[in-house]
Amino acid sequence: MAKLKKGIFGPISGKLGPVTGGTWNGIPYLRRSVDPAKMKGRSPAQLANQEKFKFGNEWMVPLHPFISVGYMPLATVRTAISAAFSHNYRAVITGTWPNLVFDYSKLSISKGNLPGLTNLQVVLTSGDELLFNWQNVNHKQALYNDQLIVVVYSHELGMADGLIGSALRRDEQCTFKFDENLKGKALEIYLGLISMNRKKASDSVYLGRIAP
């Protein structure tokens, strides 16, 4: 894909012969137009890969409110959602459509070099409430007001809930009451950190599955 900083008449928008022009995040671009006839002639392997890609996109939709923040520091020439999808698609989903294998232990809700937390623990204190405990990291890049990103995900329901910023690094403890629809379901638990100015994030941590 070619990028246009300046065209003869400015950035191109729309189809022009064999190419299509547009602007994404303020960046003009050109790309080759897709031939519908060639789409019809795709092999079964190509169609399976297309379905896998589509499924991956749809699977991540419930996580968008969280990964859009957790991957914000990586949103430079692409969106945070695109950065998160690129990483997780390859790490989490394997196999061939329709026989896909998910490794939820490799799901990442945030990514970066912000120092994390130590001695992280989570327990289910009631049917719909989690208690998190941790110890702060003594590091010059770890600020007291770094915000927690917590995500609970039910693969049975394809539903996620969580919090962003309701607890800070310095608190060393927080409780989270999740959506009652998730009560009694197996839940995958994740925790990450994002700086107050949203310029730094930590690699998220998978805290395991809590069974009902």
Domain ranges of the chain: 44-210
Range from 13-22, 70-79, 113-122, 203-212 carrying the lowest mean pLDDT: 13-22
CA distance linking residue 195 with residue 209, whole number of Å? 26
109 closest CA partner among 156, 161, 145, 58: 161
3-state secondary structure of 204: coil
Rounded to whole angstroms, what are the CA distances from 152 to 17, 40, 160, 161, 182? 48, 40, 6, 5, 9
DSSP state, 24?
Answer: E
If you classify domain 44-210 with CATH, what class do you get?
A: mainly beta
At residue 1, the pLDDT reads 45
Q: How confident is the model at residue 98 (pLDDT cuts 50, 70, 90)?
A: confident
- Mean pLDDT for 83-89 is 94
pTM for this entry: 0.80
CA distance linking residue 110 with residue 54, whole number of Å? 22
CA distance linking residue 212 with residue 208, whole number of Å? 13
At residue 45, the pLDDT reads 82
DSSP helix, strand, coil percent of the chain (3-state; round to 5):
25, 40, 35
- Mean pLDDT for 55-84 is 94
Range from 6-15, 133-142, 189-198 carrying the lowest mean pLDDT: 6-15
DSSP state, 197?
Answer: T
Q: How confident is the model at residue 64 (pLDDT cuts 50, 70, 90)?
A: very high
Q: How confident is the model at residue 96 (pLDDT cuts 50, 70, 90)?
A: confident
CA–centroid distance for 123 within its chain: 24
pLDDT at 130 over 90: yes
At residue 123, the pLDDT reads 97
